[in-house]
């Protein structure tokens, strides 16, 4: 999964640079791609951890979606009131 996320980061970085958006240069394109890749690596690692801790695939999916929901709520609270959270 790590290699797929790295490939995704590179494809997004090159793709954004190829679009030649006025406010986004090569460095910004790769930074955005790296952020997406790091997020994918983090959540695939969390899912791998939950796969080791759970007894079934249903438990793994439940814990993974719970973690994703908690991360979403933290981001939502950060966007509304606390900028350091987001």
**Contacts for 4 with CB less than 8 Å, ≥ 6 apart:** 40
Q: What pLDDT score was predicted for residue 31?
A: 95
What is the C-alpha radius of gyration for the chain, rounded to an integer number of angstroms? Answer: 16
Q: Per residue in 6-60, pLDDT tens?
A: 999 999 999 999 998 888 888 999 999 999 999 999 999 999 999 999 999 999 9
- What are the backbone angles phi and psi of residue 20, rounded to the nearest 5°? 55, 55
Claim: this prediction has a pTM higher than 0.85: no
* Alpha carbon distances (Å) from 22 to 7, 8, 17, 69: 24, 22, 10, 34
């Amino acid at each position: 999964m790590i290699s797929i996320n790295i490939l995704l980061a590179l494809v997004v970085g090159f793709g954004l640079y190829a679009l030649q958006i006025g406010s986004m240069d090569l460095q910004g394109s790769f930074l955005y791609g790296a952020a997406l890749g790091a997020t994918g690596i983090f959540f695939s690692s969390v899912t791998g951890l939950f796969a080791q801790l759970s007894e079934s695939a249903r438990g793994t999916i439940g814990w993974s979606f719970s973690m994703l929901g908690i991360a979403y709520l933290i981001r939502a609270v950060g966007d509304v009131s606390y900028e350091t959270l987001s």
